[in-house]
Amino acid sequence: MAVESVRDLQVELLGIRKHFGGAQALDDVSLRVAAGTVHALVGENGAGKSTLSKVCAGVISPDSGVVRAGGEDVVFRSPRDALARGIATIAQELALVPGLTVEQNVFLGAEPRRGGLLDRKALRRRYDELAEHVGFDLVPDSPVSSLRTADQQKVEILRALSSGASLIIMDEPTAALSREDTELLHDTIRLLVSGGRSVLLVSHFLSEVLELSDEVTILRDGRLVRTSAAADESEASLIDGMLGRSLDSVFPGLPPAPAESASIVLSAVGVHAPGVRGVDITVRAGEIVGLAGLVGAGRSELVMALVGASRVRSGEVTIDGEPVDVRAPSEAMRSGIALVPESRKEQGVVPLRSVEENATLASLATFSRAGFVDRRQERAAAGAVLESTRVRAASPRAPMSSLSGGNQQKVLFARALLCGPRLLIADEPTRGVDVGSRRAIYDLLVEQARAGLAVLVVSSDIEEVIGLSHRVLVMRGGRVTGELTGADITDENILTAAFLDTDTNKGADS
């Protein structure tokens, strides 16, 4: 007896207003998600996308306005109320129990029981029914922790469907996914929609929005800009709408590539480390090198090796010809390597400390005498660098957690730059960053190259790699499998190198 979904559910939000403290997060916003469609919600960080989707999901109750589900006015006091009406949310951070199996997770809290005990047969039967119904092919008894992220999202979706969800809200579902997994999720979304369900998609990826959705709603500063058919929009028109002004181009102009004679800043030869199997790489002064490849190709692993954060087994790394001790991040930094890490939250931000302290964390020695921090000197340096990195914060003393993702990312750039590096490594510099901040970060990277730094950019966003790099290195299986320059830097060439199996003797690891 599987739970029947409420089919053909149309959800409407009418004249929604919501304020937090003095800030008007939503001001008279209306939205209609028709059954069997994907409706995308776009806007800069802070435009009100998440707030609106939370109103829809019953997480936040609006100050005024009406929520209508299936033609009936409803009041959601909790996500549970929304779920009872067929509305479920797939969170950005997945809420699965890693040790339980796929089917156990799907029916968590609603396990079929017989005489107080778990009825495993009924569990499997119900799972099979559900999975077949939507066309997902997951192994029901594999533990969720063994699945790739895209498949874990499927489990979340199945869980939502098992409780009768018909409208599924997805907040940045592909932000943490590789290109491959992103494709998988897109297929999943199409499958859901073809079955008559609808999806409210919050996404920063405009190409994804245009490709997947039927309708797009643009929000700016808590107000509705417009809702239109996705077919009538382009990336440029969406950006115009989100910013309220047109962005000349997504990427700043690159300075000319440094000459062959330009001094080599980073030289790494034969680097072997966990996930890295013999990489040679050089970056010249003033050069931006893009590091592309699939997730798991060893890009971040290479970065971790270069900054001394993983166990380097062999290889020689030099900066300006001087050998770098890659056994500890502190040593690599002393040699002039600075990192803006891949995961802002896990590896970058100290949320409870001030913006200022976050900025100076890596260069505190410069502002200290006999172990004591010289506050005045620190404050002056932090103020200058926060301004040059265009950080928007209420105050340099505001806690880091009060900043938007984009501004936090800029603070991490400030932290790296305060170390006075020769090589700046940025791993996924714009992941989860709004459009406005994204351009500011690109500008920063280009400025640093222009000032003579060597810059290494790792990104899963191929557009970004193409738009920013003088030279692109493509990794696969822990090795560099392609090097592209000038006109050869194209989508196809990068993908070919990323997928191409040049590795004939697999497993012959040193």
- Give the shortest CB-203-to-another protein separation in angstroms: 15
What's the closest the beta carbon of residue 387 comes to another protein, in angstroms? 6
Q: Which is nearer to another protein, 34 or 91 (CB)?
A: 91
Angle between helices 149-162 and 179-194 (to 10 degrees): 20
Considering the complex, state which of residue 48 and residue 293 has its C-beta at the smaller distance from another protein. Answer: 48
Nearer to another protein, 50 or 166 (CB): 50
Measured CA distances, 299 to 180, 206, 423, 438 (Å):
16, 25, 16, 21
Q: Please report how close the Cβ of residue 341 comes to another protein at its closest, in angstroms.
A: 5
Write out the E strands in 178-275. Answer: 198-202, 215-220, 223-229, 264-273
Q: In whole angstroms, how far apart are CA 325 and each of 319, 333, 364, 479?
A: 10, 9, 20, 22
- Name the site residues for another protein (rule: CB under 8 A): 20-25, 44-46, 48, 50-51, 54, 59-60, 221-222, 307, 309, 328-330, 333-334, 339, 341, 346-353, 357, 361-362, 364-365, 368, 371-373, 383, 386-387, 390-396, 398-399, 401-402, 404, 415
Q: Which is nearer to another protein, 45 or 101 (CB)?
A: 45
Residue 122, both tokens: 């009924």
Residues 185, 491: Cα–Cα separation, whole Å: 21
**Partners of residue 64 on adjacent β-strands:** 17
Please, which residue, 78 or 194, has the CB nearer to another protein? 78
Dist. CA 24–CA 21, nearest whole Å: 8
- In the complex with another protein, the residue whose CB is nearer, 24 or 493, is 24
Residue with Cβ nearer another protein (124 or 334) = 334
CB of 320 to another protein, least distance (A): 19
CB 428 within 8 A of CB 458: yes
Q: What are the respective helix, strand and coil percentages of the chain, to the nearest 5? A: 35, 25, 35
**C-alpha R_g of the chain:** 25
Q: How far is the CB of 405 from another protein (least distance, A)?
A: 9
Tokens of 103: 């089917």
CB of 252 to another protein, least distance (A): 18
**Unique residue bearing structure tokens 């803006």:** 340
Asked if 141 and 101 touch (Cβ cutoff 8 Å), the reply is yes
CB 98 to another protein: min, Å = 19
134-150 as b/e, with b when 16 or more CB fall inside 10 Å?
A: bebebebeeebeebebb
First to last CA, the chain: 55
CB of 411 to another protein, least distance (A): 10
Q: Shortest Cβ distance from residue 484 to another protein (Å)? A: 29
* Beta carbon nearer to another protein, 52 or 230: 52
User: Which of 104/437 has CB closer to another protein?
Assistant: 437
Tokens of 482: 């392609």
What single-letter amino acid sits at 492?
A: E
DSSP helix/strand/coil, 345? helix
Query: Nearer to another protein by C-beta: 23 or 231?
Result: 23
Nearest distance from C-beta of residue 373 to another protein, angstroms: 6
Task: For residue 348, give the DSSP letter.
Answer: I
